[in-house]
Amino acid sequence: MIREKKRIHVTQQGRPSSSGNNLDPWYSSYAARAAGLAASEVRALFAVASRPEVVSLAGGMPYVSALPEDLVTGAMDRVMREQGPTALQYGSGQGVPALREQILDVMALEGISASASDIVVTTGSQHALELFSKLFLDPGDVVISEGPSYVTAMVIFKSYQAEISHVPMDDDGLEPEALRQRIAALKAEGKRIKFLYTIPTFHNPAGVTLAESRRAEILEIAKQNDILVLEDNPYGLLYFDKEPPKALRSLDEDGVVYLGTFSKTLAPGFRVGWALAPHAIREKLILANEAAILCPSSFSQLVISEYLASADWKGQIETFRGVYRERKQTMIAALEEHLPMCTWTDPNGGFYVWLTLPEGLDSKAMLPRAVKELVAYTPGTAFYGDGGGAQNMRLSFCYPTPEQIRVGIRRLANVVNGELDLLQTFGGSGSLPGRASSSNYNAPPPNMS
In this predicted model, what pLDDT tens digit does every residue of 336-359 receive, in sequence order? 999 999 999 999 999 999 999 999
Q: Specify the range with the lowest mean pLDDT, choosing from 8-12, 290-294, 316-320, 346-350.
A: 8-12
**pLDDT over threshold 90, residue 433:** no
Instruction: Read off the DSSP letter of residue 33.
Output: G
Q: CA 23, CA 2: separation in Å to the nearest integer?
A: 11
Domains in the chain, please, with CATH?
A: 33-66+316-448 (3.90.1150.10), 70-311 (3.40.640.10)
| Whole-angstrom distance, CA of residue 179 vs CA of residue 185 | 10
pLDDT digits (tens, 9 = 90+) for 28-53: 888 888 877 766 655 656 666 678 89
Q: At residue 124, what are phi and psi to the nearest 5 degrees?
A: 85, 155
The whole-number average pLDDT for the span 128-152 is 96
How far is it, in rounded angstroms, from Cα 357 to Cα 341?
Answer: 8
Average confidence (pLDDT) over 142-149: 97
What contacts 347, CB < 8 A, 6 or more positions away?
202, 207, 208, 209, 240, 328, 353
What values do phi and psi take at 154, rounded to 5?
Answer: -70, -35
Burial letters for 268-291: b for 16+ Cβ neighbours within 10 Å, e otherwise? bebbbbbbbbeeebbebbbebbee
CA dihedral (240, 243, 248, 250) in degrees, to 10, reads 140
Confidence of residue 419 (pLDDT cuts 50, 70, 90): very high
- Give me the pLDDT at residue 446, please: 32
Give me the pLDDT at residue 448, please.
36
Are the C-beta atoms of 296 and 91 separated by less than 8 Å? yes
